[in-house]
Amino acid sequence: MTDETDMANPPRILVVDDETAIRRFLRTALGGGAFSLHEAETGHAALAAAAVARPDIILLDLGLPDMDGIEVIRLIREWSPVPIIVLSVRERETDKVAALDAGADDYLTKPFGIAELLARIRASLRRTLQEASEPVFRLEGLEVDLVHRKVSVDGRDVQLTPTEYELLRLLVTHAGKVLTHGRILKRIWGIGYLDQPHVLRVNISNLRRKIEADPSRPRYIRTEPGVGYRMMGE
């Protein structure tokens, strides 16, 4: 589907643990730009951070100084379905059952492997992200909703043909950058059309007629003479 991995908006992770060593360990393990990290040392701080930072996932230790971790899960579950992965030294089955039934999504007993933790985080994110995130491109009056596959200009819905939409999608996902004729042709019409820029011009023209107010002086799709086209923005 989409080929561009969006590094601009890394998933937010809230780490809740009172031990500094553990937090530092997780910070190095989860760092590196793949995630945006927030930390909390107490249950109350965790509740506040969950509300303010809106994490995409919570890593929760059960042994907190001010309140029991199970209680933290319950209180969060009263208003948020955010995935919660429990990290705890308690390995008794009753502890696991209590945490899971309180609303936790997963339970790892310390010590755990960092690779396994990362895999479980990916599994959780995969479940929520496949429904959630709404990548919508906006530029002045133009709005391209890549999830719902909807395009509108100044509020009015615009109906595009499959190739027109593919072309627009390609431009939008590379907004600001110049796409060469060759790159576009290869991508949409396949290799073999490299020497036929005409089909591309026709489609750009049709696309402009549908989304540009004045196709002869385009606001969105600018042509870069001798090179290719560029979607404005960024």
Partner DNA sequence: CACAATCTTGATGCATTCTTGACGCAATCC
Partner DNA sequence: GGATTGCGTCAAGAATGCATCAAGATTGTG
Applying CB under 8 A, which residues contact a copy of itself?
A: 81, 93-94, 96-97, 100-101, 103-106, 113, 115-116, 118-120, 122-123, 126-127, 130-131, 147-149, 161-162, 165, 176-178, 224-227, 230
Provide, rounded to whole angstroms, the least separation between the CB of residue 148 and DNA. 17
For DNA, which stretch binds (CB under 7 A), given 15-23, 39-47, 99-107, 221-229? 221-229
Find the DSSP H helices in 136-234. Answer: 162-172, 181-189, 197-211
The site that binds DNA (CB under 7 A) totals a number of residues, namely: 25
Q: Which long-range contacts (CB under 8 A, 24 or more apart) does 178-182 make?
A: 178/224, 178/227, 178/228, 178/229, 178/230, 179/228, 179/229, 179/230, 180/227, 180/228, 181/227, 181/228, 182/228
- Binding partner at 156 among DNA, a copy of itself, none, C-beta below 5 to 8 Å by kind: none
For DNA, which stretch binds (CB under 7 A), given 16-24, 60-68, 73-81, 161-169? 161-169
Q: Which long-range contacts (CB under 8 A, 24 or more apart) does 20-24 make?
A: 22/61, 22/87
Residues numbered 165 to 204 that lie near DNA (CB under 7 A) are 181, 189, 196-199, 201-204
- Binding partner at 116 among a copy of itself, DNA, none, C-beta below 5 to 8 Å by kind: a copy of itself
Residue nearer to a copy of itself on the CB measure, 192 or 225: 225
**At residue 53, what is the residue type?**
A
Nearest to 88 by CA among 61, 53, 113: 61
The angle at the Cα of 234, spanning 4 to 33, to the nearest 5 degrees, equals 50
Residue 76 CA to residue 50 CA, distance in Å, equals 8
- Binding partner at 223 among a copy of itself, DNA, none, C-beta below 5 to 8 Å by kind: DNA
- Side by side, the strands of the sheet bearing 156-158 are 136-139, 142-145, 150-153, 156-158
**What phi and psi, each to the nearest 5 degrees, are found at residue 213?**
-65, -45
Provide, rounded to whole angstroms, the least separation between the CB of residue 201 and DNA. 4
Query: Coil, strand or helix: which one is 136?
Result: strand
Residue 44 CA to residue 48 CA, distance in Å, equals 6
Told to check if 227 binds DNA by CB under 7 A, we report: yes
Told to check if 159 binds DNA by CB under 7 A, we report: yes
- Binding partner at 178 among a copy of itself, DNA, none, C-beta below 5 to 8 Å by kind: a copy of itself
Residue nearer to a copy of itself on the CB measure, 126 or 209: 126
Judged by the rule CB under 7 A, the positions of this chain that interact with DNA are 1, 159, 161-164, 181, 189, 196-199, 201-205, 208-209, 215-216, 223, 225-227
